[in-house]
Chain A
């Protein structure tokens, strides 16, 4: 890149960059929302059903755990292709931003669920025992004890998952998903337009930085002591 002509930056199609940024933000926002909605219950279920926990179901836990591991070990690019029939069924199209959201969620839910499980395990057993001693029922323990006590950790888990999702969205170009990552691959890599690559990567970097610092700030605000 030593002989890169920096003036090329002025020839970048900023309208396209803007559209791509919007696409990325849409994919990120919607898929993060669904990931949390589905992944939080999954994480709670993993936590509760693990051996030695409040509702230990070792066989259920083994099955869930295996499923999570399988989904997490599949490369995201493969997941994009494999899930095309499911995506068609759910959103009516398997391409574009809408088509990318289903695989993004399926890819991120197991990741987020595992993070939630680990965060919940950090909640003091004594506090759970105390609430049992006060006659708390399981739903009360989950809503009034587990989740509030784990809140800073949960916010951290959402942040990490959001950052991971930014990375996943870059691959959605494979199914015409659009977004900044797609732009970087199509123009910057395949057509050797280094200036597009630089701009998109810079924007992705800014996005990840913003996500991380917003997350960190939230964690600090809901820290318990």
Chain B
């Protein structure tokens, strides 16, 4: 969904200046054309940007050690949008805070680019953090500063720029997030979505190579969430920035992310491309998260099979087949009587996909042959 103020951002001429300016640091990705359909596979195969190895973290709770993270491993490619999803208490917040070492893990290694952060001194870490942007659920803006001064804040921290250079950079950033007209306002005068735009502009100030988003849209209404997600997607496309976000909301993963890791009780129980994880969830935690989005056909299966009394098919359409009358075609050719039980058509990152649950009246032999027939049409068929 594209909101109105999103257009303001896109049509603003300053964006092109910004792109041009960025040419020096990220030439390939800055001009990578948006590819509707299949995401950006070429950039995804690039170098590993973030590598987390055997990360473990415990808390002391009521005198006993509680594991917040147990042997977490992650590999996040450069330019990728990587989602980490889990229920509250799963360890998401701890994990993202371990990526820039706001929290020190008990053991394990965190690498960002070529830098092994876990081996850094506090001073080195502070230097490096200037180029790791972070966006927060509750925005965490300085109430004592105007919008422009908030965006300027990280530039002041880093030093090295003249006042005029800082002002110019602030103007660029405010244009990027579409807040040029609000620069003299205080955070208290802004809406939630505007506050988060300030937070994003601030996080981008020192040309980070990684952007960490800690439940960045959880405090926003659905429409504003869509606008912020669109902004993040655009920033990822324009700047080639690697984005890691944590969320409890499957919708955020579906709309924005290339890859996803599912966190449950401090462990990564499932990880992979969003499409794969969504359509073939392996772990119970993933299935239950998906069930809430209406994509969780798993929950339906047991309930209906006995009452219907015929074999059930779960059909998964990805890409073009989702838009074609495949079911009708196969049904006619194989002479099947099909009873459609439920269905979904949706998009994951511009890739359409469909999920159908259908009952078929057919012999066991015929049913056994169905997966192969559907496979020829590019549709995955599972007999339940």
Having A136-B157, A225-B186, one finds 5 other A-B pairs with CB under 8 Å, namely: A127-B143, A129-B136, A133-B132, A135-B154, A148-B144
Binds A, one of B47-55, B83-91, B122-130, B267-275: B122-130
Binds B, one of A23-31, A62-70, A137-145, A158-166: A137-145
A224 touches B186 (CB 8 A): yes
Q: Does A117 sit at the interface, judged by CB under 8 A?
A: no
Q: Does A149 sit at the interface, judged by CB under 8 A?
A: yes
Give chain B nearest CB distance to A133 CB in angstroms.
Answer: 4
Q: Does A132 sit at the interface, judged by CB under 8 A?
A: yes
Residues of A within 8 A of B142 (CB): 127, 145, 148-149
A135 touches B144 (CB 8 A): no
Contact of A126 among B128, B130, B138, B212 (CB under 8 A): B138
Identify which of B126, B186, B206 gathers the most chain A CB atoms within 10 Å of its CB: B126
A127 touches B141 (CB 8 A): yes
Give chain B nearest CB distance to A155 CB in angstroms.
Answer: 12
Residues of A within 8 A of B126 (CB): 135-137
**4 shortest A-B CB distances, which residue pairs?**
A225-B188, A135-B129, A130-B140, A135-B130
Q: Does B207 sit at the interface, judged by CB under 8 A?
A: no
A134 touches B138 (CB 8 A): no
B157 touches A133 (CB 8 A): no
Interface size on B, residues (CB 8 A): 30
Identify which of B157, B158, B189, B212 gathers the most chain A CB atoms within 10 Å of its CB: B157
Q: Does A17 sit at the interface, judged by CB under 8 A?
A: no
Q: Does B102 sit at the interface, judged by CB under 8 A?
A: yes
B157 touches A144 (CB 8 A): yes
A-B pairs with beta carbons under 8 Å apart, 17 shown: A124-B140, A124-B143, A126-B136, A126-B140, A127-B141, A127-B143, A130-B141, A131-B157, A133-B102, A133-B132, A133-B134, A134-B134, A134-B202, A135-B130, A140-B157, A148-B144, A224-B186
Q: For chain B residues 106-126, which have a beta carbon within 8 Å of chain A?
A: 125-126
B143 touches A149 (CB 8 A): yes
Residues of B within 8 A of A225 (CB): 143, 186-189
Give chain B nearest CB distance to A143 CB in angstroms.
Answer: 10
Residues of B within 8 A of A136 (CB): 126, 157
Residues of A within 8 A of B188 (CB): 224-225
Give chain B nearest CB distance to A68 CB in angstroms.
Answer: 27
A134 touches B144 (CB 8 A): no
Report the nearest B residue to A145, measured CB to CB.
B142
Q: Does A79 sit at the interface, judged by CB under 8 A?
A: no
Q: Does A151 sit at the interface, judged by CB under 8 A?
A: yes
A134 touches B129 (CB 8 A): yes
CA distance A224 to B154 in the complex (A): 20
Residues of A within 8 A of B128 (CB): 135
Give chain B nearest CB distance to A128 CB in angstroms.
Answer: 9
Residues of A within 8 A of B186 (CB): 224-225
Residues of A within 8 A of B153 (CB): 131, 134, 144
B140 touches A127 (CB 8 A): yes
Produce 1/0 per residue, A68-107, CB < 8 A to B.
0000000000000000000000000000000000000000
